[in-house]
């Protein structure tokens, strides 16, 4: 039962990611695409240090290592 | 007009075009798909490709698309999938019930043992990474 809830929940979240991205790409949409959200986050800097950029690139590196290497 | 420093990159580099980058990403993904989990080769390959992309992403070596200065209020819609995923992942991780209530990575592991799916996952990871580098 709990396993089914987990699988259904994760699948639903993936579908929601796709649906929101689809909605964002419609003409005149008020929803930014995931690329725009990431680009906005990556603009964040503390002084000369691009903290947002380092954080997001580092996070994605960890995701790859977690799923594809470890 | 002066360009912001993070946008002003010459986009005319030959290697920075889809006709070059797509085949390179496919080749890298096919190689990555052959490397089994928990192997030294997979660790080194992930570290190597990731390091190279971070190096490209932190410098001005690849052309970047302009970033929005503000996000519209519709950005809140992104909280829906993110919150659902985060709550489920936290719950499955904290309960540590293994296969009874598995984490996302525990569900993905058996799928990623298949070479073709593993290569597809590599392609998704590398293509997204490249997309982030270009942002």
> pLDDT, tens digit, for every residue of B85-121?
999 999 999 998 888 899 999 999 999 999 999 999 9
ipTM associated with this complex = 0.90
What is the nearest CA distance from B8 to chain A, expressed in angstroms? 14
CA distance linking residue B114 with residue B111, whole number of Å: 6
Q: How far apart are CA B127 and CA B106, in angstroms?
A: 23
Q: How confident is the model at residue B3 (pLDDT cuts 50, 70, 90)?
A: very low
Q: Report the SS3 class of residue A46.
A: strand
Each residue's pLDDT tens digit, B23-70: 999 999 999 999 998 899 999 999 999 999 999 999 888 888 888 899
How do residues B9-26 score in pLDDT, each as one tens digit? 455 577 778 889 999 999
Contact between B32 and B122 (Cβ < 8 Å): yes
Residues in B closer than 8 angstroms to A5, CB to CB, are 101
Inter-chain residue contact B68 with A10, CB threshold 8 Å: no
- Asked if B78's CB is within 8 angstroms of A42's CB, the reply is no
Residue of A60, A63, A66, A70 to mutate when probing chain B, most B C-beta within 10 A? A60
């Amino acid at each position: 039962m709990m396993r089914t809830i987990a699988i259904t929940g994760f699948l639903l979240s993936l579908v929601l990611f796709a649906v929101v991205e689809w909605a964002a790409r419609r003409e005149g949409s008020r929803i930014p695409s995931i690329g725009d959200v990431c680009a906005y986050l990556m603009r964040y800097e503390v002084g000369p240090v691009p903290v947002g950029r380092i954080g997001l690139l580092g996070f994605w590196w960890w995701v790859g290592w977690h799923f594809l290497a470890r | 007009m002066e360009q912001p420093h993070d946008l002003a990159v010459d986009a005319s580099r030959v290697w920075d075009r889809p006709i070059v980058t797509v085949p390179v990403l496919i080749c890298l993904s096919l190689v990555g798909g052959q490397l089994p989990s928990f192997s030294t080769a997979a660790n080194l390959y992930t570290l190597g490709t990731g390091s190279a992309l971070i190096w490209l992403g932190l410098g001005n070596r690849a052309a970047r698309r302009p970033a929005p200065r503000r996000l519209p209020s519709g950005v809140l819609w992104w909280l829906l999938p993110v919150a659902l995923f985060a709550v489920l992942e936290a719950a499955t991780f904290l309960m540590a019930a293994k296969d009874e209530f598995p984490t996302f990575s525990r569900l993905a592991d058996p799928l990623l043992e298949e070479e073709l799916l593993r290569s597809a996952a590599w392609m998704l990871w590398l293509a997204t990474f490249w997309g982030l580098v270009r942002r």
